[in-house]
Structures are given as C-alpha cells and as structure tokens.
C-alpha cells in the first residue's frame, strides 16, 4: 500500500481549494462542450484542430489536478499542473464565450 501524497511539497496551488477549482472548471467546460458543440464549430470544415486540441489538453490537465493525481515525472507534473491548466482553461472559456 502506498503512502498518501504530501501536497504541501508541490506548492500552494495543490491545496484543496485549488484542486476543487480545477475540477469544477474542467467539469463546466466539458459539459459546455458536450451540450453545445456549436461553440467549437458549426461545420466540420470550420473545425480548428489546434486550438481544440489545446483546449482538450487543458481540460484533461484540470481533471488530473482536480482529482489530486500528481505524476512522478517532472515533465508530466508540469504539463498536468494548475500552472498550465488554469490559463488554458480560462482561455478556452473565453474562446467559447466569443462563439455565443
């Protein structure tokens, strides 16, 4: 059995409130994408794959951080950290709000 993660060693953005914020924001964006797919594109020819891939990576990072998983490898820990997830998810929300 493994020992519990000491979130304090990873910085202040790994506190409970920060993980809850990541989880709620990722859930909200996921629901918005599932309920209103026209936010991304009205036609498959107009689909912007680059920004959509970045948005999905940010949402995935939000879920990883939100559930409290901390990868061991430094590269993955940075990629799925709130330092990367929050700006991407906020940009994603702004991008989709422009489509409304």
For the chain, the domains span 7-99
The answer to whether 61 touches 31, Cβ cutoff 8 Å, is no
The answer to whether 88 touches 58, Cβ cutoff 8 Å, is yes
Per residue in 21-39, is it b (16+ CB within 10 Å) or e — as a string? Answer: bbbebbeebeebbeeeeeb
Percentage of residues in the chain having pLDDT higher than 90: 68
- pTM of the full structure: 0.90
What secondary structure letter does DSSP report for 81? S
Q: What is the pLDDT of residue 13?
A: 93
Q: What is the mean pLDDT of the chain?
A: 91
Q: What is the pLDDT of residues 13-46, one digit of tens each?
A: 999 999 999 999 999 999 999 999 888 877 667 6
Average pLDDT over residues 91-99: 90
Q: Is 1 strand, coil or helix?
A: coil
């Amino acid at each position: 059995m493994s020992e519990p993660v000491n979130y304090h060693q990873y910085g202040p953005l790994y506190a409970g409130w920060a993980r809850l914020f990541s989880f709620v924001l990722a859930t909200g964006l996921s629901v918005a994408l599932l309920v209103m797919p026209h936010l991304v594109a009205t036609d498959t020819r107009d689909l912007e794959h680059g920004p959509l891939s970045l948005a999905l990576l940010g949402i995935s990072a939000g879920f990883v951080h939100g559930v409290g998983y901390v990868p061991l490898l430094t590269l993955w820990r940075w990629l799925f950290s709130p330092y990367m997830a929050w700006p991407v998810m906020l940009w994603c929300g702004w991008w989709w709000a422009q489509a409304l």
